[in-house]
A and B are shown apart, each in its own frame.
Chain A
Amino acid sequence: MARATREAYGDELIRLVQENPKVVVLDADLAGSTNSGRAAKYAPERFFDMGIAEANMIGVAAGLAASGYIPFASSFAMFCTGRVWEQIRNSLAYPGLNVKIVGSHSGISVGEDGVTHQAIEDIAIMRDITGLAVYAPCDQWETKAVIRHVMEENGPCYIRLGRAKVDDVFDENKEFDIRKVNVVRKGTAAAVFCTGLMVQMTLKAAEILKEEGIDITVVDVCAIKPIDKEGVARILGEYDKIFTVEEHSITGGLGSAICEVACSTVPRIVHRLGMFGFAESGEWQQLLHEYKLDGEGIAEQIKGYLEMKSATETE
């Protein structure tokens, strides 16, 4: 069933506020869009709309956490990361307060709103903050598993969600270990690490490539920080052709995280697929196509690199 990760977040939040009286929900006037507002019906006294004032929302969340509550603070990924980076660093991460920041509408797949609303740097800037965990689930089941996982961890985190309805990669019976990478398709030609919506797109690319005789391994990386260093290194050791795909700038995000593991474990040339600059307005699927991040585009890019590489090898 196609369901947006932000919708799955809303589902899980409804369960959480009923189960745990310490869970509080904050939003910055986007509670309908992020889906956090759906929990308000079940615990109205623990839902706080902070209005269009994200900096204050982070600070208020800090104060609630310092008082023993577990705040989930949501907005669009752009506004609950970039706009409030320093508040997150100094008021949440430095004191290690137990606040869960959940950013929906991440990446270029937010679509028509355009560049001002397309967070393509959020993973990079959140990943660099000491003590802040970063997760980017790909479907509804992984999203719910992430929410359950962060409830077990006492500390701040950032969860990156999407606007678009996406196909299931997993099913409801999947038993997740959120800390580990997930091999979702096994092939031989190359290993492709991907995250969020790019897992579905890379799986589509894998089908296209298969028809051309190229069989790739697809690895879903939900926990971008702390990253499953062992799992990544093991896969790096099994393949010599490595790719990363993210709906994010190619600097500082998943690609960089994989390169960091590679340079200290199994050195590999890593081809990073993602955004090389600002995008523009457009329907989200057309945007992914334009920036070669749909199944077709990813397949084309991977094939291009592989052909380049085999040409070099035969010279």
Chain B
Amino acid sequence: MDYEALRKIANDVRINIVKMVSNAKSGHPGGSLSAADIVTFLYFNVMDITAENAGTLDRDRFVLSKGHASPLLYAVLAEKGIIPKEELLTFRILHTRLQGHPDMNEFDGIDMTTGSLGQGLSAAVGMSLANKLDGNDHRIYCLVGDGESEEGQIWEAAMAAAHYKCDNLCAIIDWNGLQIDGKIEDVIGPAPFDTKFEAFGWHTINVDGHDFAQLEKAFAEAKTVKGKPTCIIAKTIKGKGVSFMENVADWHGKAPNAELTAVALKDLGGE
């Protein structure tokens, strides 16, 4: 898909993120908006998932380790025709299939139940090992938050992935620089990511997480790397696309009111 069409889809994804969080009066807009370009690119230009094969293991899979970005995953799966668009506004509302954090048993396209930070990358390593045992060529993608990498389990998983030569695994760090308590560098400072992952035995690629050309090149390069997993470190802007949310930590896990929702939708060219 060309970048212009992708840009349109990513924008629609952002509009739906704002609408879902606003309607639910809760959720995590900041980190959903920061990774919107990455996940849109993955689902439309990298992974081979379709509405038809979503219910099978015979395809690439995606683990949203930063499970609080669930509105992003749901909005992208809706664009793929896997989640009905009319269900998006049930997000977080009693009896919904769109739980606050993703539940893999609700939709075939949700590949792992996540939400408790630090655990998704381990599951992605397990999926990678399974694909190797099965001898298939399917790839596993895993989106990890920058703040999430403060969890020790991320580094346990990083060690295991390198040890078992998980070259069918590609992690993406959504480096938006903010977490609930403020700037990640002020809270605990997990950077640098590239040399850390390299020291753990990974191939690393630094990109601008909002630049499709750079993402395309990085995902293509990751596919060629043999004998080790790849980590794409994507610099992003938290709240990207919504003027008052950009680079403001406070919008990590807060819903805009009606007035601000209107401003956000106007920013995105929605209604």
A binding-site residues for B, Cβ under 8 Å: 24, 45-46, 48, 50-51, 53, 55-56, 58-69, 71, 86-87, 90-91, 94-96
Contacts of B116 in A (CB 8 A): 86-87, 90-91
B residues 102-128 touching A (CB-CB < 8 Å): 103-105, 111-113, 115-116, 118-128
Do the beta carbons of A60 and B123 come within 8 Å of each other?
Answer: yes
Closest to A24 in B: B133
List of B residues within 8 angstroms of A65 by Cβ: 126
Contacts A56-B160, A90-B115 given; does A66 touch B127 at CB 8 Å:
yes
| Interchain residue pairs with CB less than 8 A apart (19) | A45-B133, A48-B129, A51-B163, A55-B119, A56-B122, A59-B120, A59-B125, A60-B129, A60-B160, A62-B112, A62-B119, A63-B127, A66-B130, A67-B126, A86-B116, A91-B116, A91-B123, A95-B103, A95-B104
Contacts of B157 in A (CB 8 A): 56, 59-60
A45-B133, A53-B159, A68-B57 given as contacts; is B126 within 8 A of A59 (CB)?
yes
Inter-chain contact B126/A87, CB cutoff 8 Å: no
Query: Bound state CA distance, A134 and B76, in angstroms?
Result: 39
**A68 / chain B contacts, CB cutoff of 8 Å:** 57, 130
Instruction: Pick from B57, B160, B164: contact of A67, CB below 8 A.
Output: B57
Which residues does chain B contribute within 8 Å of A95, judged by CB atoms? 103-105, 112-113
Complex contacts, A62 vs chain B, CB 8 Å: 112, 119, 122-123, 126
Q: Are B113 and A64 in contact (CB under 8 A)?
A: no
Contacts of B62-111 to chain A: CB distance below 8 A: 63, 103-105, 111
Q: Is A55 touching B156 in the complex (CB atoms < 8 A)?
A: yes
Give Cα A249 to B124, complex, Å.
36
Within the complex, the shortest CB–CB distance from A218 to chain B, in Å, comes to 41
Is B131 an interface position by the 8 A CB rule? yes
Query: Is B153 in the interface zone, CB < 8 Å from A?
Result: yes
User: What is the minimal beta-carbon distance from B176 to any residue of chain A, in angstroms?
Assistant: 24
3 smallest beta-carbon distances between A and B, as pairs? A63-B126, A59-B122, A67-B130
B interface, CB within 8 angstroms of A: 57, 63, 103-105, 111-113, 115-116, 118-131, 133-134, 152-153, 156-157, 159-160, 163-164
A63-B127, A66-B126 known; A56 and B156 CB under 8 Å?
Answer: yes
| Chain A residue at smallest Cβ distance from B132 | A45
Partner of B126, one of A53, A64, A90: A64
CB–CB B113/A94 < 8 A: yes
CB atoms of A48 and B159 under 8 A apart: no
Query: What A residues does B115 contact at CB under 8 A?
Result: 90
Q: Are B164 and A48 in contact (CB under 8 A)?
A: yes
Query: What separation, in Å, do the CA atoms of A130 and B207 have in the docked complex?
Result: 42
In chain B, what residue has the closest Cβ to A61? Answer: B126
Write out the residue numbers on chain B whose beta carbons fall within 8 Å of the beta carbon of A60: 122-123, 125-126, 129, 157, 160
Question: A58 to B127, alpha carbons, bound, how many Å?
Answer: 13
CB neighbours of A48 from chain B (8 A): 129, 164
Partner of A63, one of B118, B129, B153, B159: B129
Q: Which of A45, A67, A68, A95 has its CB near the most chain B CB atoms (within 10 A)?
A: A67
Chain A residues lying within 8 Å of B112, measured Cβ to Cβ, are: 62-63, 66, 95
Contact of A56 among B103, B104, B131, B153 (CB under 8 A): B153
Contacts of A50 in B (CB 8 A): 156, 160
Distance (whole angstroms) from the CB of A46 to the closest CB of chain B: 7
Bound together, the chains give a CA A82 to CA B105 distance in angstroms of 26
Given that A62-B112, A66-B111 are known contacts, is A53 also in contact with B127, CB under 8 Å in the complex? no
Q: A60-B129, A68-B130, A87-B122 are in contact. List 11 more A-B contacts (CB 8 A).
A: A51-B160, A55-B119, A56-B122, A59-B121, A59-B123, A60-B122, A62-B123, A63-B124, A63-B128, A67-B57, A91-B119
